[in-house]
Amino acid sequence: MDRSLDCDRDDMKNIRSRLHDNMEKNALQTDIQFLPGVGPKRAALLRQELQVGTIGDLIKIYPFRYIDKSSIIPVNAATPDMAYIQIKAKVEEISLFGAKGSIPEEDIKFNTVKRMSVKISDGSGYMELVFFKGIKWMYSKLKVGEEYIFFGKPSVFNGRLNMVHPDVDHVKTSGQDKNRPGFMNATMTGIYPSTERLKNGGITGKVMNKLMENALNMALPDIEESMPEYLLLEKGLVPIHFAVRNIHFPKDMISLEKAKYRLKFEELFYLQLSLLKQKYVRSRNENGIRMPKVGDAFNICYDSLPFDLTRAQKRVITEIRDDMKSGHQMNRLLQGDVGSGKTMVAVLTALIATGNGYQACIMAPTEVLAQQHYKNISKYLKGTGVKTALLTGSSKTAERREIHAGLEDGTVGIIVGTHALFEDNVVFKNLGLAIIDEQHRFGVEQRAKLWRKSSCGLAPHVLVMTATPIPRTLAMTLYGDLDVSVIDELPPGRKPIQTIAATESRRPALFKFLKDQIALGRQVFIVYPLIFESEKMDYKNLETGYEQIVKAFPFPPYRTAIVHGKQSNEEKKFNMDAFAAGRADILVATSVIEVGVDVPNASVMVIESAERFGLSQLHQLRGRVGRGSEKSYCILMTGSRLSKDSRHRINLMCATENGFELAEEDMKMRGPGDLEGTQQSGLPITLNIASLAKDGLILNDARQCAQRVLDDDPKLSQAKNRIIAEEVGKEKYRVRDYSQIS
């Protein structure tokens, strides 16, 4: 037990006095420093490491796993592959060791002691306990010949079983604990998130449990029920006090599962309700730009296409057109796998806007992608009479002046651009549609700035596009208030990409294969995860990789270009254009070419150190090939020794081309927080216990329940929904979401 938790009577009086001053409203808002056992120093640590400022904040830090302390096992049954175990045994011998070996009892100076060894026995066998910290305290606590309960993780050192830094309770006092009121007599102990700084500051796992017990003793009565009684009964949810008590100190496994389900359902219910309520309000807003016709330019473009649109593309365009002519503002997310034809949908959507007398802007996160869009769109717009322009950070001054004038007088109907479109001097005559590609790379404030550029007094229609397949549960959360369209089929004629995994021993065969492909007139991408040599990583990197490629593929006859994020925009454009035009056989690059490069003649994608990339990123890179009529290949070069997760990712890549399947697996493996640049902080609200990766069934149920509540009571004005209205009105549910436009 940490002695710093013990308070004398004067301390307790002072704490109670300060608590009284800080608890006039309720204990949940009480500053964490006034919780017994905390104080100013530990409060600062808890704020910094866990963002805990109040007792209420602490209670919402939930255990991420639990240890069962209900059973005691004999020493001879313990094995090093067990998790945590509990042993009841006598102390047989205590030895102290310094830098030079064993220290006799008469020579003990604790500032020179490095290690304490405790030999214990329960009659079935012997075990060693080892302590490197808190030795003076533990030495004074343990007495030879007395019996204790030891709890810890068994391990083996020099062929002998031991436990390092186990929890220790005296058998005489542990029995008394079972009879006292409170929470700590639960048979299951929660393990809380921690950091090295917390542990070094004395907030160990045991201390955290004690602090949580104090917090619940003080504040549990002040926690109000946050779900209406009719939903508790309908969904079989336990009351909030039962849930909070048993999530921290479970009575048993059944109580723990009931507590988990209640708290997860509540989090996901209010998350979905806040999004659906926003969607409901917007759908009833009549202040949308009405665009009833398609116009001549749309028909000219559509009729002149050298290919037929897929059924999925036609369905999506119909959904978009229905939005744009409804009189409500469109806020639609368009998901489509790599190469599914989203750009074509964007072009036809933009032409609906121009056909109704409005301008459209198409925004891309990088100059490479913006240039690619502009090139493709210009090709499709030939003969339509609609003028388009490209505005990026590298646009020349004279060019900018001309584009600005064209946007102001309305002669530029469609503008393609990057962040340059946010600049204050970019003024539209009549902006009616904003199309955002790979939108998670833009910030909310930046997008809001663009929406305010609409000069017709109404917010523009919004079409958000992403080529990153998003798992359904994540899409429902990140984009829960957007209407979602999915292009779920590829254009006819696209051949499957053969994906092969290989190690360094196969490099000679790889180079021969690449030379054969180049001899057939094909081109090759080679992608590296790093730009410069890193002492900490032994992965292939662009710098040495480029030298290796140039040596293996010398000029003449081979031509190699290089593109990476450290180059200027002019350098990147020059090398990319050389590859796109066929003036280079090989493009060596970092993942800067993940989006935006469309080179139909490129038939091979080699990804070096493929184990360093996530599934979604590997899939995006693979999508750079297979765009022409020739058979294409993706070669995943890896180290010979892979972790279990890395091996699983590589095997999945070789097994399927379905981006949505891969995205689901990616989220299961990595969680939603790191999925393709989408940070956990990007979620509309903080999830304390629910997991988008693991709780998809609960999420679906919670969303359906939220939808039923709103269908029955859209304004949440009925008496039975008073609790819901109060909860969803809290600041944390005022979602600053991806579609916010004003």
C-alpha dist (Å) from residue 362 to 386, 393, 461: 14, 15, 12
Six-digit token string for 269: 């219910």
612 band by pLDDT with thresholds 50, 70 and 90: confident
% the chain with pLDDT above 70: 83
Number of helices followed by number of strands (H, E) in the chain: 25, 23
Residue burial 488-521, b: 16+ Cβ < 10 Å; e: rest = bebbeeeeebebebbeeeeeeebeebbbebbeee
Contacts of 142 (CB under 8 A, 6+ apart): 91, 94, 118, 148, 168
Cα–Cα distance, 274 to 271 (Å, whole number)? 5
Q: Tell me, what DSSP letter sits at residue 204?
A: -
Looking at 171-215, which runs of residues are DSSP E strands? 188-191
C-alpha dist (Å) from residue 5 to 19, 35, 460: 17, 11, 60
Taken in order 102, 108, 109, 115, the sign of the CA dihedral is positive
455 band by pLDDT with thresholds 50, 70 and 90: low
C-alpha dist (Å) from residue 312 to 124, 315, 345: 70, 5, 10
Q: How much is the pLDDT for 684?
A: 56
Angle, vertex CA 644, rays to CA 642 and CA 648, nearest 5? 95
Q: Tell me, what DSSP letter sits at residue 27?
A: G
Contacts of 95 (CB under 8 A, 6+ apart): 102, 116, 117, 118, 119
108-113: long-range contacts, CB 8 A cutoff, minimum separation 24: 110/135, 110/136, 110/139
Cα–Cα distance, 292 to 27 (Å, whole number)? 58
Burial class (CB in 10 A: 0-12, 13-18, 19+), 209: buried
Q: How much is the pLDDT for 645?
A: 84
- Give the count of alpha carbons within 13 A of 203, CB side only: 25
State the residue for tokens 């092969």. Answer: 500
Q: How much is the pLDDT for 740?
A: 39
Identify which of 117-121, 159-163, 197-201 has the greatest average pLDDT: 117-121
Peptide bond into 556 cis (omega under 30): yes
What average pLDDT does this structure show over 247-263? 93
Taken in order 40, 41, 42, 43, the sign of the CA dihedral is positive
578-581: long-range contacts, CB 8 A cutoff, minimum separation 24: 579/523
Helix axes 342-355, 296-303, angle to 10 degrees: 150
Angle, vertex CA 591, rays to CA 585 and CA 594, nearest 5? 85
Out of 252-261, 464-473, 545-554, 585-594, least confident range = 464-473
431 band by pLDDT with thresholds 50, 70 and 90: very high
Across the beta sheet with 602-607, the strand order is 497-503, 632-638, 602-607, 523-527, 586-589, 560-563
593 band by pLDDT with thresholds 50, 70 and 90: low
Domains, the chain, with CATH or none: 3-64+192-221 (1.10.150), 68-176 (2.40.50.140), 296-326+341-466 (3.40.50.300), 497-656 (3.40.50.300)
Q: What DSSP element (H or E) covers 587?
A: strand 586-589
For residue 442, the Cα-to-chain-centroid distance in whole angstroms is 16
Cα–Cα distance, 65 to 72 (Å, whole number)? 20
For residue 669, the Cα-to-chain-centroid distance in whole angstroms is 11
419-423: long-range contacts, CB 8 A cutoff, minimum separation 24: 419/393, 419/446, 420/391, 420/392, 420/393, 420/395, 421/361, 421/363, 421/391, 421/450, 422/446, 422/449, 422/450
571 pLDDT more than 70: yes
Contacts of 90 (CB under 8 A, 6+ apart): 120, 121, 122, 145, 146, 147, 148
Q: Name the 3-class secondary structure at 184.
A: coil
141 band by pLDDT with thresholds 50, 70 and 90: confident
Contact of 615 with 666, CB cutoff 8 Å: yes
State the residue for tokens 């996530």. Answer: 614
301 pLDDT more than 90: yes
% the chain with pLDDT above 90: 43
Q: How much is the pLDDT for 102?
A: 85
Strands 359-363 and 414-417 turn out to be parallel
10 pLDDT more than 60: no
User: In the predicted model, what is the mean pLDDT of the chain?
Assistant: 83
Contacts of 729 (CB under 8 A, 6+ apart): none
Six-digit token string for 20: 């009284």
SS3 annotation, 492-540: CCCCCEEEEEEEHHHHHHHHHHHHHHHHCCCEEEEECCECCCCCCCCCC
Cβ neighbours, 10 Å, residue 583: 11
Q: How much is the pLDDT for 450?
A: 66
What average pLDDT does this structure show over 533-557? 78
Contacts of 200 (CB under 8 A, 6+ apart): none
Out of 112-116, 284-288, 308-312, 427-431, least confident range = 284-288
Maximum alpha-carbon separation in the chain: 101
Cβ neighbours, 10 Å, residue 643: 10
Angle, vertex CA 728, rays to CA 722 and CA 730, nearest 5? 110
For residue 445, the Cα-to-chain-centroid distance in whole angstroms is 21
What average pLDDT does this structure show over 583-588? 94
Hey, what amino acid is at 627?
R
Q: In this predicted model, what pLDDT tens digit does every residue of 183-235 receive, in sequence order? A: 555 668 888 988 888 888 888 888 999 999 999 999 999 999 999 999 999 99
Cα–Cα distance, 204 to 152 (Å, whole number)? 14
Cross-strand partners of 119 = 93, 128
For residue 15, the Cα-to-chain-centroid distance in whole angstroms is 40
C-alpha dist (Å) from residue 560 to 362, 518, 586, 587: 32, 12, 5, 6
Contact of 560 with 515, CB cutoff 8 Å: no
Looking at 378-482, which runs of residues are DSSP E strands? 388-391, 414-417, 431-437, 461-466
